[in-house]
């Protein structure tokens, strides 16, 4: 490491693992959430995470659980914490994927909770 590149393992709702490679400090990749956020990185690599509000910290549907590497992530702002308060199944490691920006000093393991998928289903009809 040291060149700012790192790896994120997404644990999907069905238990499968998707490993992506990312570089810290990149410009917006997918146009969703903060540039370089977990949501931004995931969507740019074809990994679906719910993002009903488009990544502006208003819906809570992009809730993920950062199992490993949380220390390298931007600390949650007050509005993120307020939004998470409303989210379902919140844990101490919960973050909003659209607001959580890793700095690239550690590899991450990020769980996409099953209720994320269920919400997507319901909304999609």
Beta-sheet pairing, 5-11 with 17-23:
antiparallel
Which one of 3-11, 20-28, 49-57, 111-119 is the stretch in contact with ligand FES (CB under 6 A)? 49-57
State the minimum distance, in angstroms, from the CB of residue 73 to ligand FES.
Answer: 14
Q: Which of 116, 15, 1 is nearest to 60 (CA)?
A: 116
The 80-99 contact track toward ligand FES, x by CB under 6 A, reads ---x------------x-x-
Which one, 62 or 108, has the nearer CB to ligand FES? 62
The count of residues interacting with ligand FES (CB under 6 A) is 13
Tokens representing residue 60 in the block = 């809570």
Q: What angle do CA 95, 97, 100 make, to 5 degrees?
A: 70
């Amino acid at each position: 490491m040291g060149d700012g590149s790192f790896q994120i393992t997404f644990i999907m709702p069905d238990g499968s693992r998707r490993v992506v490679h990312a570089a810290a400090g990149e410009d917006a990749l997918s146009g969703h959430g903060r540039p370089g956020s977990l949501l931004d990185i995931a969507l740019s690599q074809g990994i679906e995470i719910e993002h009903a509000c488009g990544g502006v910290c208003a819906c809570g549907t992009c809730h993920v659980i950062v199992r490993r590497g949380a220390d390298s992530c931007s600390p949650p702002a007050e509005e993120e914490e307020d939004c998470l308060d409303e989210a379902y199944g919140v844990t101490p490691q919960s973050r909003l994927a659209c607001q959580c920006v890793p700095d690239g000093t550690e590899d991450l393991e990020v769980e996409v909770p099953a209720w994320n998928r269920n919400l997507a289903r319901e909304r999609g009809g």
